[in-house]
């Protein structure tokens, strides 16, 4: 059994060679006394985890938590951060001190915004920084490869919210991002955005092993940690709170079920768009086309496809298929943009045999259609194999 992380598989989808360098060769970077993007992400994740745990420890109701209480908890969480955090990295320079102030503003605003989001619905945080894997709270996602070997997919889910009904548990999966991140079925199809779907698979499978009540996915989302400004254009003049909530609106996918969606935003009314989730209602209160939602059977296609994609690609990766083949698309995504390994690969698109793997952007229904076709082809091939 071979353990593999989700970020490794996404790296493989972006550039197989970058994956080989990062996870196979593992070159060690020269140590620098500076904070990098992953360090900043870890710092903010840690603060938010402590914030959530403190709300729970004080047995406060997320639905009734007032801004003054929220601010007190934020201050207490920040007071716990040691002055010499990271070997004094923040205190060492003026830029470090400025960065710390900015991160603390981001944390404070993000904590209040996620509190407002939770408060507007019936979902309660159930777990933070939830590990699935060999040593995690949940088991890894096991995928059998063509050659009979098995890989164990491991990862960490930033937050899982629950809503309990008599015989069903509804799950909401949240992943915190420090940068802008959209959820696109096209990215899932190409393997460069499998994270949320795989978290959902891990959570649903893991839950089935620990609780007899059926668990269903209500939605999976990215939440951006941010400190945005409001101006006239973004609506700050009229209703600053609603305008700010919109800036933090969750990005992702809902289950196409009006009752489930309304339990996430009690204030969603006819002819309106939710401030907090990607949902909108028409005059007759049916879901508008702007709502990012899929019915249960299509949601299942995503879960099946992500495991199928892993089976195909983990097998190729472990067999050593790691060409220099960076992905790029028409939206400006380019795997090389933030890659540290250019000095090793020497990729040069001017050379004939150095080419990008161009990903055609697919509308959601086309991406879903391709996933369905891939699964059908795979099923047919399996049946034929069995018949031979
Ligand atoms: S620089 Fe581009 S081609 Fe080279 S390893 Fe990184 S992503 Fe791949």
Name the residue of 327, 341, 351 to mutate for ligand 1: max ligand atoms within 8 A of Cβ: 341
Per cent of the chain over pLDDT 70 is 97
The CATH number linked to 148 is: 3.90.320
pLDDT tens, position by position, 105-141: 999 999 999 999 999 999 999 999 999 999 999 999 9
Question: Where does a domain end: 264, 281, 315?
Answer: 264
Q: Each residue of 290-346: pLDDT tens digit?
A: 999 999 999 999 999 999 999 999 999 999 999 999 999 988 899 999 999 999 999
pLDDT of 49 higher than 70: yes
Closest ligand 1 atom, CA of 346? 4
Closest by CA position to 157, among listed 192, 117, 187, 202 = 202
98/47 same-domain check: yes
Q: What is the domain count for the chain?
A: 2
36 pLDDT more than 90: no
Q: What pLDDT, on the 0 to 100 scale, is given for residue 210? A: 81
Long-range contacts of 243-249 (CB under 8 A, 24+ apart): 244/109, 244/113, 245/113, 245/116, 245/117, 245/275, 245/276, 246/275, 248/110, 248/113, 248/114, 248/117, 248/223, 248/224, 248/276, 249/274, 249/275, 249/276, 249/277, 249/278
Q: Whose CA is nearest to atom 1 of ligand 1?
A: 342
Q: What pLDDT is attached to residue 93?
A: 85
Cα–Cα distance measured from residue 73 to residue 374, given in angstroms and rounded to the nearest whole number = 49
pLDDT for residue 152:
97
Residues 97 and 189 in one domain: yes
Measured at the CA of 144, the angle between CA 368 and CA 361, to 5 degrees, comes to 25
Best residue among 20, 335, 357, 359 to mutate for probing ligand 1's pocket (most ligand atoms within 8 Å of CB) is 335
pLDDT averaged over the chain? 92
The rounded radius of gyration (Å) of the Cα atoms in the chain is 22
Task: Please tell me the residue having the least CA distance from ligand 1 atom 7.
Answer: 336
Closest Cα to atom 5, ligand 1: which residue? 18
Q: Is residue 80 included in any domain, yes or no? A: yes
Asked if the model's pLDDT at residue 353 lies above 80, the reply is yes
Residue 336 and residue 246 in one domain: no
Q: Average pLDDT of 23-43?
A: 81
Spatial distance between the Cα atoms of 159 and 12, rounded to a whole number of angstroms: 25
What pLDDT is attached to residue 234?
62
Residues 45 and 149 in one domain: yes
Judgement on whether residues 142 and 86 belong to the same structural domain of the protein: yes
Q: Is residue 204 part of a domain?
A: yes
Expressed as residue numbers, the domain containing 371 is 296-387
Whether 59 shows a pLDDT value over 90: the answer reads: yes
Rounded CA separation 242/276 (Å):
9
Distances 274 to 93, 113, 121, 251, 280 between C-alpha atoms, Å: 42, 14, 12, 12, 6
**pLDDT tens profile 216-271:** 999 999 999 998 887 766 655 668 888 999 999 999 999 999 999 999 999 999 99
**Predicted confidence (pLDDT) at residue 284 exceeds the cutoff of 80:** yes
| CA 4 to ligand 1 centroid distance, Å | 20
Percent with pLDDT over 90 in the chain? 78
Centre of ligand 1 to C-alpha 337, Å, is: 8
Distance 324 CA to ligand 1 centre (A): 7
Burial environment of residue 286 by CB neighbours within 10 A (0 to 12, 13 to 18, 19 or more) = exposed
| CA 350 – ligand 1 centroid, Å | 14
As for ligand 1, residues whose beta carbon falls within 6 Å of it are: 15, 17-18, 324, 326, 335-336, 339, 341-342, 345, 347
pLDDT higher than 60, residue 80: yes
311 Cα to the center of ligand 1, angstroms = 24
Ligand 1 binding pocket mutation candidate from 13, 14, 15, 19 (most atoms within 8 A of CB): 15
Q: Which helix (H) or strand (E) holds 281?
A: strand 280-281
Q: How far is the CA of 304 from the centre of ligand 1 (A)?
A: 29
DSSP 84: T
322 in the same domain as 247: no
- Domain match, 259 and 349 both: no
Residues 83 and 228 placed together within one structural domain of the fold:
yes
Give the model's confidence band at 1: pLDDT under 50 very low, under 70 low, under 90 confident, else very high.
Answer: confident
What's residue 8's pLDDT? 96
**pLDDT at residue 200 in the model:** 97
Query: Confidence class of residue 37 from pLDDT cuts 50, 70 and 90?
Result: confident
User: Is residue 328 situated within a structural domain?
Assistant: yes
Give residue 257's pLDDT.
Answer: 94
Ligand 1 centroid–CA 6 distance in Å is 19
């Amino acid at each position: 059994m071979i353990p593999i992380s989700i970020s490794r598989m996404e790296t493989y989808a972006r550039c197989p060679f970058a994956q080989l360098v990062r996870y196979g060769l593992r070159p060690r970077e020269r140590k620098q006394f500076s904070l990098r993007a992953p360090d900043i992400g870890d710092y903010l994740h840690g603060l938010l985890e402590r914030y959530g745990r403190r709300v729970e420890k004080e047995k406060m109701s997320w639905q009734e938590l007032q801004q003054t209480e929220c601010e007190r908890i934020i201050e207490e969480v920040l007071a716990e951060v040691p002055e010499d955090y990271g070997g004094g990295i923040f205190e060492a320079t003026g830029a470090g001190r400025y960065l710390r102030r900015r991160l603390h503003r981001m944390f404070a605003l993000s904590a209040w915004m996620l509190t407002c989001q939770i408060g507007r619905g019936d979902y309660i945080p159930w777990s933070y920084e939830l590990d699935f894997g060999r040593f995690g709270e949940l088991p890894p996602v096991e995928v059998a490869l063509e050659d009979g070997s098995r890989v164990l997919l491991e990862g960490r889910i930033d937050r899982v919210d629950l809503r309990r009904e008599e015989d069903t548990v509804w799950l909401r999966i949240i992943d915190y991002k420090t940068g802008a991140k959209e959820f696109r079925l096209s990215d899932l199809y190409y393997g460069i955005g499998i994270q949320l779907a795989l978290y959902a698979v891990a959570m649903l499978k893991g839950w089935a092993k620990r609780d007899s009540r059926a668990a269903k996915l209500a939605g999976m989302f990215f939440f951006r940690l941010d400190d945005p400004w409001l101006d006239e254009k973004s609506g700050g003049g009229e209703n600053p709170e609603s305008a700010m909530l919109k800036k933090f609106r969750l990005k992702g996918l809902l289950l196409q079920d009006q009752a489930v969606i309304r339990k996430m935003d009690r204030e969603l009314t006819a002819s309106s768009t939710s401030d907090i989730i990607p949902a909108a209602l028409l005059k007759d209160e049916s879901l508008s086309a702007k709502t990012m939602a899929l019915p249960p059977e299509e949601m299942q296609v995503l879960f099946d496809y992500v495991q199928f994609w892993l089976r195909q690609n983990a097998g190729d990766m472990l067999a050593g298929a790691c060409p220099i083949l960076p992905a790029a698309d028409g939206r400006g995504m380019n795997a090389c943009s933030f890659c540290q390994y250019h000095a090793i690969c020497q990729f040069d698109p001017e050379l004939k045999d150095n080419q990008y793997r161009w990903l055609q952007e697919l509308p959601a229904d086309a991406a879903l259609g391709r996933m369905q076709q891939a699964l059908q082809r795979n099923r047919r091939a399996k049946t034929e194999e069995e018949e031979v």
